[in-house]
Amino acid sequence: MLVFLIDADNLSSSAWIEEACSSLEAAEGSMAVRRAYGSAENLKGLAQTMLAWSIRPFVNLSLSKNTTDVALAVDAMALACQTPRPTAMAIGSGDADFVPLVVRLREHGIRMICVSEPSKMASEAAHAYDSVLFVGKAQPAVKAKKSATAPSAKAPAKKVAAKSALDAVPAKKVAVKKKAPTATDETTKADVTLEQILSAAPALRLGQMQPLGDVVKQLHSAKLIGKNATSTKLFKKFSRRFELTPVMQPNQVRYLPA
């Protein structure tokens, strides 16, 4: 029995979910259980796909903390304990948060499959699964190292006459400008707009407190801030539209609609 559980806050494209369903059925057979977990906004955007593939939606509770991962994990463990037990389970997310769940279910003899976009696949999660199915854009091709070739035989250099006094003057050193750090390394892009932030983290539109760590993760995925950038600087740029709490060491953020 094949089970497909989708984290619709991570795998949120209708096209990619349709591709995943087609590929899983072709490789594993019919999917007995098909469920999608996520915010009301994300699930609404997947309505046609869920209808076409008979995928049951499970909407998040309106809490300050995102409950999608926990809801999916609880149902996965419940399905693993039922009779008959699933022979294979596909998790529609590349998030590393699911690694403990994957390891436990694999220990119970359930073959675990990850379905993810290449850009959202956490490197530390890949080896936890028995197999990984990438959907969407193909992975960037890995360039093979060029094999070392023997240096071509050069003709013996002709003897050059002694340099003149003018030639002997040492050339001036050319100053090489150091490359400035890119906006995606240590800084936040200067042209990031409010709409881009809300599109990358749609749960903010609810106007409720959201975990700052979850929002920052989504901003990283959208490449709006760099790996080492301070996220609070971005929100302080729109200080009238975002509230950070607590003030000294904020761990939550709330959008303040105009």
User: Residue 166 above 90 pLDDT?
Assistant: no
At residue 227, the pLDDT reads: 64
Q: Report the pLDDT averaged over residues 24-40.
A: 94
Q: Report the pLDDT averaged over residues 76-96.
A: 95
Residue 240, number of CB atoms within 10 A of its CB: 7
pLDDT confidence of 43, banded at 50, 70, 90?
Answer: very high
CATH class for domain 2-134? alpha beta
At residue 242, the pLDDT reads: 86
Q: Report the pLDDT averaged over residues 44-51.
A: 94
Strand (E) or helix (H) holding 210: strand 210-211
- pLDDT tens, residue by residue, 127-138: 999 999 999 865
Q: Report the pLDDT averaged over residues 144-159.
A: 47
98-102: Cβ within 8 A, 24+ apart: 98/7, 98/69, 98/72, 98/73, 98/125, 99/124, 99/125, 99/128, 101/73, 101/76, 101/77, 102/128, 102/129
Residue spans per domain, the chain: 2-134, 194-255
Structure tokens at 194: 């409010």
Q: Report the pLDDT averaged over residues 13-35.
A: 94
User: Residue 157 above 70 pLDDT?
Assistant: no
Mean per-residue pLDDT over the chain, rounded: 81
User: Residue 200 above 80 pLDDT?
Assistant: yes
pLDDT confidence of 247, banded at 50, 70, 90?
Answer: confident
At residue 21, the pLDDT reads: 96
- pLDDT tens, residue by residue, 221-233: 888 887 666 777 7
Residue type, 184: T
d(CA 2, CA 24): 9
User: Residue 202 above 70 pLDDT?
Assistant: yes
At residue 248, the pLDDT reads: 75
More confident residue, 142 or 93: 93
- pLDDT tens, residue by residue, 92-101: 999 999 999 9
**Model pTM score:** 0.53
